[in-house]
Amino acid sequence: MNPVPPWDEWAQRAFPAMTKDERRGEIAYYGGEGSSETFDFRQISRHIASIPAPAGVPFHMVVATIDQCDSPDDICGRTYPAYVAITQALSEGWPEGRFTRAGSGHELYVSDPDVVVAAVENILDR
């Protein structure tokens, strides 16, 4: 649910919609700074990209709609089209991937629990 998108694609597609300060913040975040998730998402993204998605493993990505953004003009709203394009392509590139947009908040299990349950059931059924 609402994953951090792969670094290389995010930098390529979303950075043009960001200010210089926003880009600096994204670079720091992806490097593990200023977050409770102190992973180096750049390194993780490159590692994941280097291996094929496993066949026979169901995958269902659920991302929030643009309603999660405070404004179409904030960083969330300006980069949302890139976010959806990246995450949808990632889902569709998985042999048994599915993609769903739902909910109005980042915490989809709160804003749209029925969709989350349906995604889990879909995985279990496959």
Token pair in block for residue 49: 């990209």
* Domain assignment present for 66: yes
How confident is the model at residue 32, as a pLDDT? Answer: 85
* Domain assignment present for 99: yes
Closest to 86 measured CA to CA, from 5, 29, 1: 5
Structural domain range at position 106: 7-125
* Domain assignment present for 58: yes
Mean pLDDT of the chain: 90
Our measurement of the distance from residue 32's CA atom to the centroid of its chain's CA atoms, rounded to an integer in Å, reads: 16
* Domain assignment present for 80: yes
* Domain assignment present for 2: no
Which pTM does this prediction carry? 0.86
Our count of domains for the chain comes to 1
Q: How confident is the model at residue 10 (pLDDT cuts 50, 70, 90)?
A: very high
Mind listing the pLDDT tens digit for each residue in 16-73? 999 999 999 999 999 988 767 678 889 999 998 898 888 889 999 999 999 889 999 9
DSSP category for residue 68? G
* Domain assignment present for 101: yes
* Domain assignment present for 50: yes
* Domain assignment present for 120: yes
